[in-house]
Structure 1
């Protein structure tokens, strides 16, 4: 049986962690763009857009991410479309992330005092101008901490993509365990790497929340 040193195990896991980081970035950035579109539909004046956005959010928040991954990977296969694991993983995570970010941001927009809407309206601003110059800049300050905090959930959500064969950190952990028969060592490293990825994000969210709250109180 081939012998694996501790460094061999850690090196393989770190190489796989690159894909976890890449998938997290793609999911978060893509989900942010889609989420922004859903947000504008959700708070817009067009009734059909509000209904669609509400249904989208309820659908993706109300169903397990695991099931969404299965549907993205196997569902399209029923129509003869061969979907690579990385594409299915990215698509499912983008759509899932968008539903949560849209709802987080909607709460931040609604947290802006109604007086701000009334004051900007009295200046003759249209809806788009109100959002661009008055509402969104204020909502952005409120949105930063929960948005950064949610990025932790995105990183941890990538672990589920191993189910459809995408080789990221948790999938690599299983493969290395099968090769080394050292589950405690391997999964101990996996947990430490996830912690190293998630803890700075979680801590940043807490620091930003404190700073923005202090700035708000001083203002």
Structure 2
């Protein structure tokens, strides 16, 4: 039975939009924690740990996000670990975000003048104090535009969750489109919702980049 696009269908899209926002937020927050660990390991004086972190980044930056979601959702059950679509998508996006944020923040840490760390050492500050009080505040501030830019990409990346059956905004758009036979209008609304979330973030990232460029 063909339905007419109305309030009920719009509510379905808005509910799914809420899940898209929540999924992106969870992946970004958890990925930020993982990315910070990766960045610190990559800049630490421990060769074995640096090699492991490098391998992690190579794997997750060198393979498509869609494939990573497939491996987690369909591959883990083959070794006896069953996960639902929500957990699989959240885990996949978190690992993806960890790899990219870790590399963004590592490059920023490495770009800081060497004199910063040398001065901290001369003052007798330990490794943890140097990192927490001297290096990270500067590095994270400089990396804010790139970090916000990656968040925009992460929001759009949540659309891949539709492939494994998770009902986020894109999947809800498919369902409503199939029910109403009005794909142009439905996906126009879907695109407008993505735009309403991503454009302000992109604009914020641009403004941050401009401000930091002026400061330099």
TM-score bucket (shorter structure) = over 0.9
5 Å matches for 1:21-170?
21-170=21-170
Question: Following superposition, which runs of at least 4 residues in structure 1 exceed 6 angstroms of deviation?
Answer: none
TM-superposition CA deviations, 1:157-180 (whole Å, max 9, x none): 100011111000000011111100
Counterpart of 1:177 in structure 2 is 177
Please report the RMSD computed on the Cα atoms of aligned residues, expressed in angstroms. 1.2
Structure 2 CA distance for partners of 1:186 and 1:14, relative to 1, 3 Å: same
What is the distance in 2 between the residues matched to 1:2 and 1:103? 49
TM-score by length of 1: 0.94
In the TM superposition, residue 209 of structure 1 has moved relative to its aligned partner by 1.6
Give, in whole Å, the separation in 2 of the partners of 1:210 and 1:7.
Answer: 41
Conserved 8 A contact 1:9-1:176: yes
Q: CA deviation at 1:212?
A: 2.5
- Give the Cα separation in 2 of the matches to 1:81 and 1:130: 41
Does the residue aligned with 1:124 lie in a helix, a strand or coil? coil
SS of the aligned residue for 2:143 comes to helix
1:69 shift after superposition: 0.2
Shift of 1:188: 0.7
The unaligned stretches of length 5 or more in structure 1 are none
Counterpart-to-counterpart distance in 2, 1:180 and 1:2? 6
Q: Deviations over 1:33-86 (max 9, x none)?
A: 111111111111111110000000010000000000001001111123221000
Q: TM-score, normalised by structure 2?
A: 0.96
Please report how far the alpha carbon of residue 207 of structure 1 lies from its aligned counterpart in structure 2 after TM superposition. Answer: 1.1
1:109: Cα distance to partner? Answer: 0.6
CA contact (8 A) 2:3 2:179 kept: no
Equivalents in 1 of 2:104, 2:155: separation in Å? 17
What 5-or-longer segments of structure 2 have no aligned partner?
A: none
